[in-house]
Structure 1
Amino acid sequence: MPRTGEQPMDLETEVRGDLLVVRVQEERIDAAAAIEFKDRMRELVDTPASRVLLDLSCVTFLDSSGLGAVVAVMKLLGPDRRLELAALGPVVRKVFRLTRMDRVFTIHERVSDAL
């Protein structure tokens, strides 16, 4: 469903040891959602964890703005904390592969693979 801006972006978190899992419960991270995604992630990564795992299993579309937002979150974490990705669908995986960002991020097939 397209974002209307009325409700906050649905991101769920779970702490598992030194890992913060953030589940993106949205179908799209695009130009309309990228700024809100970054803002919400900025709030959520205040949780002390050495690794942050972004569960993208619900995301079916990611454009260049969405990719830029994910990269911005990685930079926000700084050099001492890692942003990892999991459960990329075919369209999202293709964006990371075509931009060679699949070489920048650790990408797991499933969330369970990162635990």
Structure 2
Amino acid sequence: MHMTLLPQQDGLTIRVDEKRLDAMVATAFKDRVRSMIGASGPPVTLDLGAVDFMDSSGLGAVIAIYKAMPPDRPLVLARLTPNVARVFRLTRMDTVLNIRQDPDNGIQMESPAP
């Protein structure tokens, strides 16, 4: 599981450097991200720009990470490829999770319903 931790001035970005987020890597992905973010700290951006394929196990891992985050510590998903964005749209998780087009300039692609 290849990921890069990128501390930012206003938070923490974790870039997932994998082509697939599926059943083969989902558990390792979830565990590694949890260990990288710790229990408290700044907002976390998960950069999924390199991920071309995500199955239900990958989606479940992202949701588990989201649920483990304290309510006052936001999780943002960034740079979703069209295939990955489709998974979030089809499951309607795009209405729950904060999804942004570009983690650097904050252009919002989709956001959770109020």
TM-score w.r.t. structure 2 length?
Answer: 0.87
Query: Counterpart of 1:41?
Result: 33
Query: Counterpart of 1:101?
Result: 93
Percent sequence identity over aligned pairs: 47
Residues 1-115 of structure 1 aligned to structure 2 (within 5 Å): 9-46=1-38, 48-114=40-106
Segment of structure 1 superposing worse, 47-56 or 74-83 = 47-56
The number of residue pairs the alignment matches comes to: 107
C-alpha separation in 1, matches of 2:12 and 2:25:
22
What runs of 5+ residues in structure 1 fail to find an aligned partner? 1-8
1:20 and 1:47 in contact (8 A); partners too: no
C-alpha separation in 2, matches of 1:34 and 1:114:
27
What runs of 5+ residues in structure 2 fail to find an aligned partner? 108-114
C-alpha separation in 1, matches of 2:25 and 2:45:
19
1:34-81 Cα offsets, whole Å, 9 max, x none, are 000011011100285331000000000001100000000011112121
| Structure 1 residue 22 displacement after superposition | 0.3
C-alpha separation in 2, matches of 1:79 and 1:48:
11
Is the alpha carbon distance of 1:76 and 1:47 closer, same or farther for their aligned partners in structure 2, counting shifts above 3 Å?
closer
Segment of structure 1 superposing worse, 64-73 or 42-51 = 42-51
Give the alignment's Cα RMSD to 1 decimal: 1.6
